[in-house]
C-alpha cells in the first residue's frame, strides 16, 4: 500500500486515484489517515465556495450550472455534497451525485458525497477534513453543498471563503424568520427559480432586510435549470473577497472546536447508544439523565 507521503504527492499532482484514496482513508479513518491530515498543504489558489439553503431550493442544480460555467473557462472543480443522515437507520441518500452525473467522466470535475453521520449541525468533522483534502489538490474551486438545517449554515462559513445562501420565491412569507446567524454568514443570497411568481417582490423584501447590515451584500436572481443569471453569480463568486481576517480566525476557532469535540466523542457511537438504550428500557424503568450521567462518568 502507498505511504501517506506518496498519496499526498499524487493528490498535489492532480492524480484522481490518489485523491479518491485519500478521501476514503480520511472518511473511514483507515491506515495512515491521520498522517495524511498532518501532511496536508492547502492550495492557496483554490477558492472554497459554500452553498447552503433549505431543501428544494435547487442547490444541486445551481452547483451543476456553475460547474458548466467554470468548465467553459477551463477551470478545475471539486464538489463535496453533504447529505443528512437519517436518525432512524443511519443511512443517507447521497443523491447529489445523481444530479451531476453528466460530469462523471470529465477529468476536470471531481464529485464526492459524504453523510453528516448524525451531526446535529449538519456538518461532521469528516466533512471538514475531506474539504481540506480537496483544497490540497490542484483545483481552482471547491464547492461544499449542504442542506441548511440547524447550525449547518454557520458551520459551512467556517469551511468556505465565500458562502452563498440559496432561497426560492416561496420563501417570501418566511424571510422575516431567517435566523440572524444566517444573515451574518451569508456573503451572497441567491433567489433561485426566479421565473416563478413573486420573485421580484421577494428580492425587494430581502434587499430591505439586508440594508440593515453593516457590510453590503448582494442578491442574485437565477433560474439554474435554464442557466439564467448563473454567469453573473459565477463572476461574483470568483472575485468576492469573502471573510475578513478577523472572521476567519473566529471561524477557524469554531472549526477547531468541532474537530476537538468529535475526537473527544469518538467513543460514543449513536448506533451503540441506541442498542444500549433499547436494552436498558427492556430491562425495566429507564431514566435518560441517569443513563447520560453514567456514560459521562465512565467515559
Backbone angles phi, psi at 48, to 5 degrees: -100, 125
Same domain, 78 and 203: yes
Can you give the pLDDT at residue 288? 92
φ, ψ for residue 25, nearest 5 deg: -60, -45
- Residues 99, 233, single domain; the answer is yes
Q: What is the pLDDT of residue 122?
A: 47
State the pLDDT at residue 93: 47
Residues 76 and 188 in one domain: yes
**What integer pLDDT is reported at residue 139 of this predicted model?**
97
Q: Answer yes or no: do 101 and 248 share one domain.
A: yes
- Looking at the structure, do residues 58 and 203 belong to the same domain, yes or no? yes
Shared domain for 25 and 111, answered yes or no, is no
Residue 272 sits in the same domain as residue 138: no
Q: How many CB atoms lie within 10 A of CB 277?
A: 13
130 lies in the same domain as 225: yes
- Whether 72 and 180 map to the same domain: the answer is yes
**Could you tell me the CA-to-CA distances from 182 to 113, 151, 186 in Å, in that order?**
24, 9, 6
**Is 157 within 8 Å of 92 (Cβ atoms)?**
no
Count how many domains the chain has: 3
pLDDT of res. 257: 84
Are 57 and 184 in a shared domain? Answer: yes
- Rounded CA-CA distance 253/61 in Å is 32
Q: Give φ, ψ of 154 to 5 degrees.
A: -70, -40
The SS3 assignment for 113 reads strand
Same-domain check for residues 86 and 36: no
- Same domain? 254 vs 131: yes
C-alpha of 278 from chain center: 33
What domain range includes position 168? 43-262
Q: In the 8-state DSSP scheme, what is residue 65? A: H
221 three-class SS: strand
State residue 87's pLDDT score.
Answer: 42
Query: In the chain, which residues have pLDDT < 50?
Result: 86-94, 119-122, 150, 177
At residue 117, the pLDDT reads: 57
Amino acid at each position: 500500500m502507498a505511504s501517506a507521503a506518496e498519496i499526498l504527492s499524487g493528490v498535489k499532482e492532480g492524480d484522481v486515484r490518489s485523491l479518491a484514496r485519500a478521501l476514503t482513508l480520511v472518511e473511514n479513518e483507515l491506515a495512515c489517515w491521520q498522517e495524511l491530515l498532518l501532511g496536508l498543504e492547502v492550495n492557496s489558489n483554490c477558492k472554497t465556495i459554500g452553498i447552503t439553503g433549505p431543501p428544494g431550493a435547487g442547490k444541486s442544480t445551481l452547483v451543476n450550472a456553475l460547474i458548466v460555467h467554470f468548465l467553459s473557462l477551463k477551470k478545475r472543480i471539486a464538489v463535496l455534497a453533504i447529505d443528512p443522515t437519517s436518525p432512524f437507520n443511519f443511512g443517507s441518500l447521497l443523491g447529489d451525485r445523481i444530479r451531476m452525473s453528466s460530469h462523471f467522466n470529465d477529468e476536470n470535475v471531481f464529485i464526492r458525497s459524504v453523510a453528516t453521520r448524525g451531526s446535529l449541525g449538519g456538518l461532521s468533522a469528516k466533512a471538514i477534513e475531506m474539504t481540506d483534502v480537496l483544497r490540497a489538490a490542484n483545483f481552482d474551486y471547491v464547492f461544499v453543498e449542504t442542506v441548511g438545517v440547524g447550525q449547518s449554515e454557520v458551520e459551512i462559513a467556517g469551511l468556505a471563503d465565500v458562502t452563498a445562501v440559496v432561497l426560492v420565491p416561496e420563501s417570501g412569507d418566511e424571510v422575516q424568520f431567517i435566523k440572524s446567524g444566517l444573515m451574518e454568514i451569508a456573503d451572497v443570497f441567491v433567489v433561485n427559480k426566479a421565473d416563478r411568481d413573486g420573485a421580484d417582490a421577494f428580492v425587494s423584501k430581502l434587499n430591505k432586510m439586508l440594508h440593515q447590515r453593516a457590510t453590503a451584500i448582494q442578491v442574485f436572481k437565477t433560474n439554474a435549470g435554464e442557466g439564467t443569471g448563473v454567469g453573473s453569480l459565477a463572476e461574483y463568486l470568483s472575485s468576492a473577497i469573502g471573510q475578513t481576517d478577523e472572521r476567519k480566525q473566529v471561524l477557524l476557532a469554531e472549526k477547531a472546536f468541532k474537530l476537538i469535540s468529535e475526537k473527544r466523542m469518538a467513543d460514543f457511537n449513536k448506533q451503540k447508544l441506541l442498542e444500549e438504550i433499547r436494552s436498558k428500557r427492556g430491562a425495566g424503568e429507564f431514566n435518560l439523565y441517569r443513563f447520560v450521567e453514567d456514560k459521562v462518568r465512565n467515559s
